[in-house]
Amino acid sequence: MARIGLYFGSFNPIHIGHLAIAGYMTEFTPLEQVWFIVSPHNPLKKKNTLLDDYQRLYMVQLAIGNNDHLKASDIEFSLPSPSYTIDTLAYLREKNPSHDYSLVMGEDNLYTLHKWKNTEALAEKYHFYVYPRPYSPRPESALLSELLAKAKIHWVKAPLMDISGTFIRSGIKKGKNMSYYLSPPVWKYIEEMHFYEK
């Protein structure tokens, strides 16, 4: 049974922080692969800030290259929108019953768990591999505390990398060289396509 970590996100764009986290998971945890699940629409984010779905997917593919431990997935593109993690997991388990799926997420996302759809089922059925994120205060919520007490959480000591897509997009808009934060093929593609310049 293959152990797969599902790393959900808009990846707008995918940056070296994302790759470092995924690489850490495949090298230092029991996860054999990490799949980047490119989300067409996160219910907690405004859709108008997103680059086209397939452009973001393509940049993930560029970033991964020939790495067999990482995979870009467009699974949510064909599911009802907005996409919910519990529904995507149910679909994946039906399609690949031999895979053991876990969730990969930052500490900040873990602390929004009480806002997710069918959170109790998620907490009961799946393992969570959580990496630290700076400035991630835990909100006061009885439901969240209850969920975290039930959830199978694995805290991983991945290096802290305080990089965000917002920071990269903002830098590009200001005409800054943001190549240091992106894999070379992704930066080249962004430059060629003039993404995030306006």
Check pLDDT > 90 for residue 55: yes
Check pLDDT > 70 for residue 48: no
Element (H, E) at 105: strand 100-106
Domain ranges of the chain: 3-163
For residue 20, the model assigns a pLDDT of 97
For residue 82, the model assigns a pLDDT of 82
Q: What is the pTM of this model?
A: 0.93
CATH 3.90.1150.10 describes domain 3-163: no
Query: Biggest alpha carbon distance in the chain?
Result: 48
| Cα–Cα distance for residue pair 70/22, rounded to 1 Å | 7
| Cα–Cα distance for residue pair 54/126, rounded to 1 Å | 28
pLDDT-derived band at 128, boundaries 50, 70, 90: very high
- Give the tens place of pLDDT for each residue, 56-112: 999 999 999 999 999 999 999 999 888 899 999 999 999 999 999 999 999 999 999
Check pLDDT > 70 for residue 118: yes
**β-strand partners of 101:** 4
- Give the tens place of pLDDT for each residue, 151-170: 999 999 998 888 999 999 99
Asked whether the beta carbons of 22 and 60 are under 8 A apart, the reply is: no
* Amino acid found at 79: L
- Give the tens place of pLDDT for each residue, 22-35: 999 999 999 999 99
